[in-house]
Amino acid sequence: MKAFEIRKPGDYGIIETDVPDISEEEVLVKVGYAAICHSDIDMLTGNRKHLVRYPNIAGHEFAGTVVKTGSRVLGFREGDTVACECMILCRQCPECDMGYVSCENYSELGFMQGGGFAEYCAVPARNCHRFTKMTMEQAALTEPMGNGLAIVEAAQIRPTDTVVIIGPGPIGLNAMLCARLKNPGQIIMVGTRRERLKYAQGAADALVNIREEDAKARIMELTGGKGAQVVLMCATTVSACELALEIAGQNCRIIVEGVPGETPVPVNFNDFVTKVLTIRGVAGVTSEQFRRVISLVENGYLDPLRFVTHTMALADIEKGFEMLQARDQDVVKILVKP
Ligand SMILES: [Zn+2]
Ligand SMILES: [Zn+2]
pLDDT along the chain (338 residues), means of 10: 97 98 98 96 91 96 98 97 97 93 95 98 98 98 97 97 97 98 98 93 96 97 98 93 96 92 88 95 93 98 96 97 86 96
Ligand located closest to 106 CA: 2
CA angle 335, 337, 338 (to 5 degrees): 140
DSSP annotation of 200 reads G
Question: 3-state DSSP call for residue 272?
Answer: helix
Ligand located closest to 61 CA: 1
Ligand located closest to 85 CA: 1
| 60 CA distance to ligand 2 middle (Å) | 19
Ligand located closest to 104 CA: 2
Considering only CA atoms, which of 84, 2, 83, 87 is closest in space to residue 39?
87
Ligand located closest to 257 CA: 1
| 113 CA distance to ligand 1 middle (Å) | 15
Write down the pLDDT at residue 50: 86
| 61 CA distance to ligand 2 middle (Å) | 21
Question: 3-state DSSP call for residue 123?
Answer: strand
| 231 CA distance to ligand 2 middle (Å) | 31
The enclosing H or E element of 215 equals: helix 215-222
| 170 CA distance to ligand 1 middle (Å) | 9
Write down the pLDDT at residue 191: 96
Q: Do 169 and 189 form a contact (C-beta atoms < 8 A)?
A: no
Query: Helix and strand tally (H, E) in the chain?
Result: 11, 18
Amino acid (one-letter) located at 227: G
Write down the pLDDT at residue 44: 95
CB proximity list for 15: less than 8 A, separation 6 or greater: 2, 3, 4, 5
| 269 CA distance to ligand 2 middle (Å) | 34
pTM of the model: 0.95
Question: 3-state DSSP call for residue 163?
Answer: strand
| 100 CA distance to ligand 2 middle (Å) | 9
DSSP annotation of 104 reads T
Considering only CA atoms, which of 115, 54, 45 is closest in space to residue 87?
115
CB proximity list for 51: less than 8 A, separation 6 or greater: 106, 108, 111, 112
| 192 CA distance to ligand 1 middle (Å) | 22
| 72 CA distance to ligand 2 middle (Å) | 20
| 102 CA distance to ligand 2 middle (Å) | 7
| 143 CA distance to ligand 2 middle (Å) | 20
Ligand located closest to 59 CA: 1
Ligand located closest to 140 CA: 1
- Beta strands, E only, the chain: 2-8, 11-16, 26-35, 56-57, 61-69, 81-84, 87-88, 107-108, 120-124, 128-130, 162-166, 186-191, 206-209, 228-233, 248-256, 278-281, 308-313, 333-337
| 321 CA distance to ligand 1 middle (Å) | 13
Write down the pLDDT at residue 100: 86
| 101 CA distance to ligand 2 middle (Å) | 8
Q: Do 161 and 229 form a contact (C-beta atoms < 8 A)?
A: yes
| 122 CA distance to ligand 1 middle (Å) | 18
Ligand located closest to 100 CA: 2
CA distance linking residue 251 with residue 103, whole number of Å: 31
Write down the pLDDT at residue 83: 98
